[in-house]
């Protein structure tokens, strides 16, 4: 049996085992996707176990997305540019690292016409926001503005990718808004990041948080008639990309989607 898993800490909340195991089962693949809850101090030791046990692939989340790169045989240019590796796969005994978060952002937005010639505002300046800036840039957005609570963090990210930045409170409209802060995570009431009056029906709102599925921003956006992409879509689309590289088979998308939705709705 092939072993895969989510490498994170904490990791118990991860929906990746349900998503990938549903996919393996549907295609009759003899594989198991496990939880590897590994504190930062034990990462190196874990990577030795990964090699001994011949683990076939990993999804990587906090706090390991940067440090895992030191323990792999090769890291591709996408992970290097994003500065984080969320995806590991084994090939001929070598461990390769990449990043598929950007696919989790690009594919759902492509279903609504894509980034090209759009004015994009990204809320947040952490790791997920970095992947969003990378994706918007790679997909030829007309403009990209990073808005963040801490201006200094927005400045650092924006300068690296040559885009605009400002404080979160200075939101002033966009064609596409990507919500990449952790404000409102696990909070059913949510946090108001953008006043509802500043949203309008021509906007596309992409939310990264999926617990709760209906965040404050999603709720407000639906009320004004904007188009929305809820947070599980990013998880799913990066998951489909990982599944296809690991197994060389087309992921059973609807079955994987249902497995995730069963856990969050
Ligand atoms: P980081 O910790 O790297 O960044 C957090 C960001 O949120 C920072 O910009 C921080 O601002 C901002 N922030 C935190 N609290 C508040 C607040 N109360 N008000 C305003 N801004 C706030 O996290 P990540 O970038 O890794 O993740 C961001 C979110 O994206 C998380 O909720 C995560 O769960 C989600 N995510 C979802 C994925 C999916 O597949 N759907 C994949 C990856 C992430 P400051 O700089 O001021 O501290």
Ligand 1 centroid to 49 CA: how many Å? 30
Ligand 1 centroid to 61 CA: how many Å? 13
Give the sign of the dihedral formed by CA 101, CA 60, CA 237, CA 80.
positive
Is 137 known to be catalytic?
no
pLDDT in tens, 54-83: 999 999 999 999 999 999 999 999 999 999
Give the per-residue pLDDT at 179. 98
Ligand 1 centroid to 257 CA: how many Å? 23
pLDDT in tens, 107-146: 999 999 999 999 999 999 999 999 999 999 999 999 999 9
By most ligand atoms within 8 Å of CB, the mutation choice from 62, 86, 128, 171 for ligand 1 is: 128
By most ligand atoms within 8 Å of CB, the mutation choice from 99, 126, 133, 257 for ligand 1 is: 126
pLDDT class of 257 with cuts at 50, 70, 90: very high
Domains of the chain (ranges, CATH numbers): 2-99+233-264 (3.40.50.10860), 103-230 (3.40.50.720)
């Amino acid at each position: 049996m092939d072993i895969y898993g989510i490498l994170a800490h904490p990791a118990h909340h991860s929906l990746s085992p349900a998503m990938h195991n549903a996919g393996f089962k549907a295609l009759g693949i003899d594989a198991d996707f496990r939880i590897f809850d590994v504190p930062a101090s034990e990462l190196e030791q874990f990577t030795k176990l990964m090699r001994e046990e011949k683990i076939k692939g990993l999804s990587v989340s906090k706090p390991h997305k940067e440090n895992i790169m030191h323990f792999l045989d090769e890291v591709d240019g996408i992970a290097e540019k994003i500065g984080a590796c969320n995806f590991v796969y084994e090939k001929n005994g070598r461990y390769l690292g990449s990043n598929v978060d950007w696919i989790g952002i690009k594919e759902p937005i492509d279903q609504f016409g894509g980034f090209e010639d759009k004015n994009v505002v990204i809320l947040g300046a952490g790791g997920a926001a970095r992947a969003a800036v990378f994706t918007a840039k790679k997909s030829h957005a007309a403009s990209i503005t990073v808005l963040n609570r801490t201006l200094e963090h927005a400045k650092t990210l924006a300068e690296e990718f040559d885009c605009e930045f400002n404080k979160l409170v200075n939101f002033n409209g966009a064609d596409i808004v990507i919500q990449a802060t952790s404000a409102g995570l696990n909070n059913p009431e949510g946090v108001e990041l953008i006043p509802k009056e500043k949203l309008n029906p021509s906007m596309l709102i992409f939310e990264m948080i999926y617990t709760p599925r209906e965040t404050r921003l999603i709720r407000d956006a639906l009320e004004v008639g904007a188009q929305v992409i809820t947070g599980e879509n990013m998880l799913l689309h990066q998951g489909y990309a990982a599944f296809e590289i690991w197994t060389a088979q087309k992921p059973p998308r609807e079955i994987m989607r249902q497995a995730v939705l069963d856990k969050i709705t």
